[in-house]
Structure 1
C-alpha cells in the first residue's frame, strides 16, 4: 500500500513509520521542513527506498499543491503546538 504519514517527526510518527516500512508499505512523510527530518536516523538503510518525504504545512493549504494524492491510506498524527486550537478541517486541508 502507498501511505501518507503526517506527524512523522513526532514520537509516535517515527515509530509508526518504521513499522509501516518494515511491513512493506511505501510511505510518504509530509513534513514542514525536510532539513529537520532525517530518515537515516529513524530507519535502517534497507528500508530507506520505501520512504519519501513531501514538504507541506497543513496550516498553509497552498503549500500542499505538490503533495501526491494517490494514497491507499493516511495516518494523521499532527497536533497544533500553537495553543490556538486550530481546526484543520475548517481550513480545508484535510
Structure 2
C-alpha cells in the first residue's frame, strides 16, 4: 500500500495528490493563454468620442483635425465614432 500525505486545511483533512508534470505544464499554459487573451482584449478596447474628449481635454473640432492629419483613426459603427485604445495610448505617450 502506498502511503498517503494528508493536509489539514480550512476544509478539514484532505489528501495531497501531486500533479503530474503534464498537468503542471498544462496549468501554466492555460494561465499564460488567459493573460495573453486579457492583453489582447485591452488592445482591442474602444473609446467613445466623449471619453477621448475628456482624456485630452479638448473639443470635437480638434479631434476631427487630428483625424484629418492622420493622428487618430476613428472607427464608425452605426453613426457612432470610436477610437482604438491603443491609438489613444500612443498619442498620450507621444505628448509626454
Output the TM-score relative to the length of structure 2. 0.24
Output the TM-score relative to the length of structure 1. 0.24
- Name the one with the larger helix percent: 2
- Report 1 or 2 for greater relative contact order, CA contacts < 8 Å, sequence distance ≥ 6: 1
Larger Rg: 2
